[in-house]
Amino acid sequence: GAVVSQHPSRVICKSGTSVKIECRSLDFQATTMFWYRQFPKQSLMLMATSNEGSKATYEQGVEKDKFLINHASLTLSTLTVTSAHPEDSSFYICSARTSGGAKETQYFGPGTRLLVL
Amino acid sequence: GQSLEQPSEVTAVEGAIVQINCTYQTSGFYGLSWYQQHDGGAPTFLSYNGLDGLEETGRFSSFLSRSDSYGYLLLQELQMKDSASYFCAVLGNGGFKTIFGAGTRLFVKA
């Protein structure tokens, strides 16, 4: 089946630094990737929708200058948390849709746990 | 806007059947999905309903009534490993956006 990877799986950084998270579709082409954030014992909150070759569409309340998303190829999307602060500590999960595949089929990455000190 | 409601917690015993309900409001409804998430892990896809009726996948079944904006996930022959959070997720905007409910924590007791 379709596999999505994320790197790193876990990152600890100092406040004020930037962190880049990669999301890759390993065996399929993903025209659309989604970025979610999940706080402990809460739901997945959609942050943005990323389409290959175009600007990401951000959800209301998500700062696009703070959470930079790049979807440069059909297999890679990156999320950069700029000037991270402790309140950005969370579980970040990406998912991908196969190009030409059913809209309901999303494959999730294993997530990246970010801790900002 | 879009919203989903599901119970926060459900407890059941091993071998039993449990139903997790989900009501939703969305524009451009396309379908309803269900995901399972164990603590510390990523969500895994369980089931999807685009049309009214029941979809069965092994021990899991999902139902949708579009006229009632309602669906449920049915888990049969519960096992301890089924203890997890279960999320309903609505595909809105014609299928281009997936919004998750708050999740239902299922506790399976021996």
A-to-B residue pairs, Cβ atoms closer than 8 angstroms? 50
Runs of H (alpha helix) within chain B = none
- Per-residue pLDDT at A102 exceeds 70: no
Which among A42, A46, A107 is the nearest to B98, CB-wise? A46
pLDDT value for A1: 66
Tokens of B66: 């579009």
Which A-chain residues 33-62 have CB contacts (< 8 A) with chain B?
34, 36, 41-46, 49
Range in A96-105, B33-42, B53-62 the model is least confident about: A96-105
- The mean per-residue pLDDT over the stretch B93-102 comes to 82
Which A-chain residues 58-117 have CB contacts (< 8 A) with chain B?
93, 103-111
Contact A44 B95 (CB under 8 A): no
Q: What is the dihedral of CA A4, B25, B1, A111, to 10 degrees?
A: -20
Residues of B in contact with A45 (CB under 8 A): 100
pLDDT above 90 covers a percentage of chain B that reads: 75
Does A9 lie at the interface with B, CB-CB under 8 angstroms?
no
Does A16 lie at the interface with B, CB-CB under 8 angstroms?
no
Segment A2-58, tens digit of pLDDT: 789 999 999 999 999 999 999 999 988 888 899 999 998 889 999 999 888 888 999
Chain A: residue nearest B94 by CA?
A103
How far from chain centre, in Å, is Cα A102? Answer: 21
Contact A103 B95 (CB under 8 A): yes
pLDDT band at A92 (very low <50, low <70, confident <90, very high): very high
Which among A103, A106, A107 is the nearest to B30, CB-wise? A103
Segment A59-74, tens digit of pLDDT: 999 999 999 999 888 8
pLDDT band at A104 (very low <50, low <70, confident <90, very high): low
Q: How far apart are CA A87 and CA A116, in angstroms?
A: 8
Measuring CA to CA, which residue among B35, B109, B108, B24 is closest to residue B64? B24
Which among B33, B42, B91 is the nearest to A109, CB-wise? B42
- The mean per-residue pLDDT over the stretch B67-96 comes to 92
pLDDT value for A76: 93
